[in-house]
Structure 1
Amino acid sequence: MAASKITIGNVEIASLSDGLLEFDICNFFPDIPASEWEPFHDHLTPDRKVSFNLACFLVRSEGKNIAIDTGLGAKDTPETPWGELLDDMARNGLSPDEIDAVVMTHLHRDHVGWNTVRDDGGNLKPTFPNARYYFSKVDLDASHDPALQPDRYPNAPDCVWPLVDMGLVELMEGEFSITGDLTTLPTPGHTPGHMSIMVNSGGERALILGDVLHNTAQIQQTDWASRADIIPEQAIATRQSVLDRLESEGLPVAAVHLPAPGFGKIVRLQGRRYWQAI
């Protein structure tokens, strides 16, 4: 069984989850005919859907608890297949007030949902009351674009913008140092300001990938863009360059939407790339 945590130098990365999503393949990859998925049955659910883990990576660096992405947020109904993050934190012996920083790879709704909650009076408050919230300035600007906000950033008015008004936000641009071990790597395309997080500690490195990948089939089919990619051509170019680097440097990866816990490497066998879980 794959480990639920890995250690990179002095940094520990634990995989938590807010739940699972499933989509019809032609719904989520609308430009890819169903017939082209025939060689990739093992990348789909038994009923031929794409399944996405909603990972939150809990990183312990320099004595700080840092949450990377926060899922979709509270359940709409008891049957809702997400809303598990705070329970998963509790199972791992951690409460929201022990989180020192919350870092967003990007501001899509399934990565910011637990940023805020409502109190008994219906007012928004930060879910993690002692944390600073880190996200891309480029994505924040995009979330205010009327052409993008309603469809691409639908929960920004509740889960992103109030944090700015509360003075809890650190805006990231370029290669931004979160701690001495964690630095952002701009990986745009999925969103204009999408960031991955490079971990560099004790002579070891790893990459927290965000949404550069949604499905392991894209490791071979790098030009398969999803409906969620805001700038598809750039997302494809980013995916190709990042996978080249991950393969050539042999870096461990923490991938938000790949099967839990989401830890693996990009390896090449018989001339083709594959995901190797670790």
Structure 2
Amino acid sequence: HLLAALDRRKEANTLLEELAGAEDDRIKSEARLLHAFLLLEHGEFDAASALLPEMTAPDRKNRQAYQHYQHRRYLRARLALVRGQPAEAASRFRELSKSPEQLGSAVHHGTLVGLADALQASGQSEEGFEVLISFLDKHPRSQLLDGALARLLHWAQPNETLKNRLEEKLLMWSRAPRLAEFNQDTATSETAEPAQPQTFVPDAEAQRVGYALYYYSLFLTGKNGVDSNALAELLLERLRSEHPDHPLAPASFLETARVQNATDRREEAIATLTRL
């Protein structure tokens, strides 16, 4: 995997092919799965498929063999999706999602996001949307939060019902003030600074709060109003001040500068960028 990450795919493929011939069943199976994953990532679908034959389920008492079997099913579902077979992919992902306790967390989370993608691709946008909403509700520390929220923001754009649904969830996840409440705060005084909500955030939810602050700010800047832009800047500042180690804290500077530049505050935008 490291060789592939370093763009040394030929060496990675050679090594994995050698390991696939090992006498140890565990090493052999893991090598084939990793090789199939890398081939899938690089668009070599036929080669990946050859490494993922349909198999009968092994005895569940053999935990390792059963996990490899489930991982193989997950990769076959992904293969169906990238080959333009969303209905088949959705069926495979849905079946996998029924037994989360039999999957590792990474495969389980990938299964749910894959199911949402397959439903979206097959024209079942609202169901796919709700799959991601449920995923974000239940897994606030997942490594896939960023991708899930990016999908929700994109999928909601042409649909007012989905936009409203997303806004309600972003408000809940980010613990941000409503735009209408923000208006009331600023209406009392042209120079008054709106109060920043200082709510206690459990460690288990901190990652999701940070991502939600960022994506809610993107949602607000899409409205392109004076108050919505101002609230977006406030939320980005909250992300930096309350979650300074969050993966999106650096990106929040860029987004703040973008808003400032778009509202003819170029000197402020430059000053913001110097804080990176």
TM-score for the superposition, normalised by structure 2: 0.25
Higher strand share: 1
Computing the radius of gyration over CA atoms, which structure comes out larger, 1 or 2?
Answer: 2
TM-score for the superposition, normalised by structure 1: 0.25
Higher helix share: 2
